[in-house]
């Protein structure tokens, strides 16, 4: 809907969908949703400019990794934020991700159900790992294209664990391209896009994020073609 622009010293992400109660924005890769203890830019800097005609800034209704680009849902009012939070907590929001993975599955579709747990050490910090004692985590996947030793996957998480898609793909032997945690970093960054979101509100809402410029070459190598 809109173009990124500067406001109040913060870059304002594109708005993909706007209603009186809900915004869906296109979060850039590398931008954390919340400010960390070390400071630095975050989406919180842009929220006042995203208030638009409201008295209060909108607030994120769910999480999206710093390294992940794409659809992020914001509630514009307190009742809307509560309703959206319940949708995500109950797993009723339909999230669709696109990823380019290194290698790829032999089959055309399937599911991954490795439980996940958080581990940490003073030397390496924290990360998630697949482990039988972890929390249940389920991801469904479908191949959309292949090429150049890469595979383009559509991923649908049915649970919302931290780094779920990244760990699940890596545990299967096909890490997401550019993943610095669970694969190998690249100059283009993590090739994981929160492609679409469908919200069962009244009326239902849907939004789709474009493929970022840094990811286009890898997706194109797997057969993706940009819409005219």
The CATH number of residue 108's host domain is 3.30.2350.10
Give φ, ψ of 180 to 5 degrees.
-75, -20
Residue with tokens 């380019």: 100
Number of domains forming the structure of the chain: 1
Instruction: Give the model's confidence band at 8: pLDDT under 50 very low, under 70 low, under 90 confident, else very high.
Output: very low
Active-site residue 45, yes or no?
A: no
Domain containing 21: what range? Answer: 5-221
Instruction: State the pLDDT at residue 24.
Output: 98
pLDDT (tens digit per residue) in 41-96: 899 999 999 999 999 999 999 999 999 999 999 999 999 999 999 999 999 999 99
Q: Percent of the chain having pLDDT more than 90?
A: 86
pLDDT (tens digit per residue) in 163-195: 999 999 999 999 999 999 999 999 999 999 999
Q: Is 91 left (phi over 0), alpha (psi -120 to 50) or beta?
A: left
The predicted model gives 213-228 an average pLDDT of: 91
Instruction: State the pLDDT at residue 61.
Output: 96
Does residue 227 lie within any of the structural domains?
Answer: no
Residue with tokens 């934020």: 81
Does residue 228 lie within any of the structural domains?
Answer: no
Q: Are 193 and 212 in contact (CB under 8 A)?
A: yes
Structure tokens at 205: 């809402």
Measured distance CA(116)–CA(8) in Å, rounded: 40
**Is the pLDDT score of 16 beyond 70?**
yes
Measured distance CA(46)–CA(148) in Å, rounded: 38
The predicted model gives 108-120 an average pLDDT of: 96
* Catalytic position from the list 14, 26, 53, 65: 65
- What pTM did the predictor assign? 0.92
Instruction: State the pLDDT at residue 3.
Output: 42
Measured distance CA(102)–CA(210) in Å, rounded: 21
Report the candidate in 71, 72, 136, 116 with the shortest Cα–Cα distance to residue 98: 71
Q: What mean pLDDT value characterizes the chain?
A: 92
Instruction: Give the model's confidence band at 7: pLDDT under 50 very low, under 70 low, under 90 confident, else very high.
Output: very low
């Amino acid at each position: 809907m809109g173009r990124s622009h500067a406001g109040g010293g913060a870059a304002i992400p594109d708005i993909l969908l706007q209603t009186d109660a809900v915004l869906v924005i296109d979060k850039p890769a590398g931008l954390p949703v919340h400010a960390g203890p070390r400071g630095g830019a975050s989406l919180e800097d842009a929220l006042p400019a995203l208030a638009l005609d409201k008295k209060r800034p909108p607030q994120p209704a769910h999480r999206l990794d710093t390294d992940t680009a794409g659809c992020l849902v914001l509630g514009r009012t307190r009742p809307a934020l509560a309703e959206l939070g319940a949708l995500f907590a109950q797993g009723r929001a339909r999230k669709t991700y696109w990823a380019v993975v290194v290698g790829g599955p032999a089959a055309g579709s399937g599911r991954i159900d490795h439980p996940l747990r958080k581990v940490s050490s003073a030397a390496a910090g924290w990360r998630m790992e697949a482990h039988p004692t972890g929390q249940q985590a389920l991801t469904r996947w479908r191949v959309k294209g292949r090429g150049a030793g890469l595979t383009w996957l559509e991923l649908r998480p049915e649970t919302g664990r931290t780094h779920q898609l990244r760990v699940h793909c890596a545990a299967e032997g096909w890490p997401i391209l550019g993943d610095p945690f669970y694969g190998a970093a690249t100059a283009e960054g993590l090739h994981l896009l929160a492609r679409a979101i469908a919200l069962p509100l009244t009326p239902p809402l849907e939004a789709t994020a474009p493929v970022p410029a840094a990811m286009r070459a890898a997706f194109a190598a797997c057969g993706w073609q940009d819409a005219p």
